[in-house]
Chains A and B, each alone.
Chain A
Amino acid sequence: MEARLVDGLGRGQTHWIRPPPQGMSLSARPFGRTETRVMAQIKGHRIFLTGAGGGMGRCIAAMFAKRGATLGLTDSSERDLGQTIASLGAEAGIPWSRVLDVTDASAVDAAVRGFAAEAGGLDLVVNAAGILAVAKVVDMDPAEWRRVLE
C-alpha cells in the first residue's frame, strides 16, 4: 500500500511517497527524495495563513513550519492561536502572529501589510479561516446566513 501526501502548493500536485516501515508513524519517517524537493521549494517562503488556530489551518501551519517556511499566523481566537504556536515546537522559533477577524477589512489589510513588511515579502497566502453552521433553509435565520457568507 502506498501512502499519499498531498501538499497544498496550489498546483494540484500529488506527491506519492513510500509507506513508513512497520511501526513507524508517517510523521516520524525520514524524508524521501520527493519530500526533500518539496521542502526545498517551501523553505524560506513567506506564508500568511488565516484560521491557523485549529483544524486544517493548524495542520497546514505545522506542515509549512516543518519545511522551514517563514510563517504569519492569524486566527480570530487568541487562545487557539497560542495553542497552534505552542504545538509547532521550538525549532519553528516564534512565528509572526496576530489575532485577526477576517471580516474586518482594515484589520486584514494592516495584518497582511504588517507581515509582508516584517518578513520582507509575501509568497503565499492560505485562506483557511471559515465557519460551519447547520440549519434547514426553511428554519434558517437570515442573520445566520449572513454570518456564514459574510
Chain B
Amino acid sequence: MNATGTFLVAKAAARVMIAAGTPGSIVNISLISGKVRDPTLAHYSASKFAVIGFTQSLAREVAEHGITVNAICPGIVATPMIDHLARAWGRSVAEFV
C-alpha cells in the first residue's frame, strides 16, 4: 500500500496537472524510517525507501512541466500508528515522542 498507493496517486495527479498545463506540487509522506533502519520494520522501511526513490525519479521526469515532487521524512509524531508501534514493542508512546 505504501509504495503502490503513492505511485498511483502521483501518476493520476501528474497526468491531470500536465493535461491542464498548470504548475503543481506532489508531496509524498515518507518517514524517518525512510532514512533510519529499525528492527521489525523491514517491510515498512522498504516501502518508505521506495517512496524516496520514486519521488526523486518522478521529480526529474515532471520538472519540465513545472511540477515539483517532494518527500517529507517526519520524525516520530504522536498518532494512532505510533500507539500501535509502541504496543507492539511493549513501550510507551512517551518514550518515542
Residues of A within 8 A of B (CB): 8-12, 48, 50-51, 54-56, 102-105, 108-109, 111-113, 116, 121-137, 140, 144-145, 147-150
Number of B residues near A (Cβ < 8 Å) is 45
Q: Evaluate contact between A102 and B1: CB separation under 8 angstroms.
A: yes
| B 19-60 to A, binary, CB cutoff 8 A, 1 in contact else 0 | 010101111110100000001111110110011000000000
A132–B30 alpha-carbon span in the complex (Å): 12
Residues of B within 8 A of A (CB): 1-6, 8-10, 12-13, 16-17, 20, 22, 24-29, 31, 39-44, 46-47, 50-51, 68-70, 72, 74, 77, 79-81, 84-85, 88-89
Evaluate whether A150 and B25 lie within 8 angstroms (CB atoms) in the complex, with A56-B77, A116-B16 already known: no
Evaluate whether A55 and B43 lie within 8 angstroms (CB atoms) in the complex, with A103-B1, A112-B9, A127-B29 already known: no
